[in-house]
């Protein structure tokens, strides 16, 4: 979700210290021979982390990027594919297209991870639908590409686009 928030102050050493208290080095996940640094602090009911800064819940990896580079790019992406990771060496600022490619790739990985469980269209979570909407609305991919990545029927993609299903989201 692109952030359009303008912060009124810079990130201080004190903020960074507060942030670092909620992280731990991963023993299992790494990228380019450096371990992931995982967020252990607040997570919402959907498993998304949040760090309080200026009264906002900022995604921890976005905060980590801003703390390091002093800027808030629209998209901060993971090289390591570990959503909980806040290791600045594993983060990069990308374009909207990069972000969509990343979502498609992750969607595919998630689908593969769910093999064996019933992954019926109707059982998708609201978060997945929100993600799908972003991908669909970006017009960067065909219905067929999206359907393949998400292991769903092409007609299902059309229904989401036309809001004949999941209208409430
Ligand atoms: Zn990582």
The domains found in the chain, sorted by start residue, are 13-109 (3.90.75), 113-162 (no CATH)
Output the CA–CA distances (angstroms, integers) from residue 154 to 36, 79, 84, 128, 148, in the order listed: 36, 29, 31, 16, 8
Instruction: Report CA(67)–ligand 1 centroid distance (Å).
Output: 16
Question: CA–CA separation, 105 vs 111, rounded Å?
Answer: 10
* Cα 113-114-117 angle, rounded to 5 deg: 155
- Do residues 130 and 169 make contact, with C-beta atoms less than 8 angstroms apart? yes
Instruction: Report CA(102)–ligand 1 centroid distance (Å).
Output: 14
β-pair type (75-78, 91-94) = antiparallel
The pTM score is: 0.65
Instruction: Report CA(63)–ligand 1 centroid distance (Å).
Output: 14
Per-residue pLDDT reduced to its tens digit, 109-134: 666 555 444 444 445 677 777 888 88
**Of the candidates 134, 124, 126, 127, which has an alpha carbon nearest to the alpha carbon of residue 156?**
124
- Do residues 62 and 3 make contact, with C-beta atoms less than 8 angstroms apart? yes
Dihedral angle sign, alpha carbons of residues 20, 42, 53, 99: positive
Instruction: Report CA(84)–ligand 1 centroid distance (Å).
Output: 8
Cα end-to-end distance, the chain, whole Å: 15
**Residue 50 pLDDT:** 92
**Residue 165 pLDDT:** 72
**Residue 30 pLDDT:** 94
Instruction: Report CA(40)–ligand 1 centroid distance (Å).
Output: 14
Instruction: Report CA(134)–ligand 1 centroid distance (Å).
Output: 24
Instruction: Report CA(86)–ligand 1 centroid distance (Å).
Output: 7
**Residue 110 pLDDT:** 67
Q: How many CB atoms lie within 10 A of CB 33?
A: 5
Instruction: Report CA(168)–ligand 1 centroid distance (Å).
Output: 34
- Do residues 90 and 79 make contact, with C-beta atoms less than 8 angstroms apart? yes
**Residue 115 pLDDT:** 47
**Residue 169 pLDDT:** 64
Instruction: Report CA(88)–ligand 1 centroid distance (Å).
Output: 8
* Positions of the chain with pLDDT under 70: 1-5, 108-124, 166, 168-169
């Amino acid at each position: 979700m692109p952030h359009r928030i303008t912060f009124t102050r810079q990130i201080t050493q004190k903020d960074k210290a507060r942030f670092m208290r909620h992280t731990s080095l991963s023993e299992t996940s790494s990228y380019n021979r450096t371990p992931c640094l995982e967020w252990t602090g607040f997570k919402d009911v959907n498993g998304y982390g949040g760090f309080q800064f200026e009264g906002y819940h900022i995604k921890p990896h976005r905060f980590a990027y801003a703390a390091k580079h002093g800027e808030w790019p629209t998209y901060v992406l993971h090289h390591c594919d570990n959503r909980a990771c806040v290791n600045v060496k594993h983060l990069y600022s990308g374009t909207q297209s990069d972000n969509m490619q990343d979502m498609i790739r992750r969607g595919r990985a998630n689908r593969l991870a769910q093999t064996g469980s019933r992954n019926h269209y109707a059982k998708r979570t609201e978060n997945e639908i929100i993600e799908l909407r972003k991908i669909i609305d970006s017009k960067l991919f065909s219905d067929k590409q999206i359907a393949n990545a998400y292991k769903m029927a092409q007609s299902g993609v059309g229904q989401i686009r036309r809001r004949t299903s999941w209208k409430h989201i």
